[in-house]
Structure 1
């Protein structure tokens, strides 16, 4: 959490994160820039797990009240958008049903002997379906 944000007290360079352990999954903050850039001795190194836990708790205490309100507001907005999309889809479905029913009524109302009109209305009905 603090990589690039915290500086070494001795040399002033930014601390980097190094991963140790048998699976390389344990973070440690260390000041290696002096060694890497100028061959100077390493300044400091310390485990990151406890430090990150403390920083996380402090950050959550500060952010939590606003985060809850923001989460509630975000859920309300998402629900509103879902309702709007559902309503629009229902209107589209009703319009499609009306168009298909109208095309069927037009096709059903023609004289069966008039094949030219029947063929055109049948095409419109199929497109509406």
Structure 2
């Protein structure tokens, strides 16, 4: 008995993740409902980052603030994931905004900003004849 086999190549399926993730420097973390296995698979399959260990924890939101009616306001809870790379692997954050070679042209905005900043620094310098006493403290 022959099976009914479709002709040609099989249908290619693309599975998109249900979550989005950003690699961020230490700071206020993002909210994620992913498990540690989801995080590991996501980083390995999508970003090709070799993951060694993933540790997660729940950060509880603050409950100390009060609104204008003196009612407690609770900040939302969020999950934090700490990812340790595989042995011998390193990761560097990409330089998204590299410094461009600044060529200051005559009459440009950059030149005017630089001149303004130099004038401000000169104006804020203390007068050596006053002995370190500020200008507003005078008779």
TM-score by length of 1: 0.28
Which structure has more helix as a fraction of its residues? 1
Which structure has more strand as a fraction of its residues? 2
Looking at both structures, which has the greater relative contact order when contacts are Cα pairs under 8 Å and sequence separation is at least 6? 2
TM-score by length of 2: 0.27
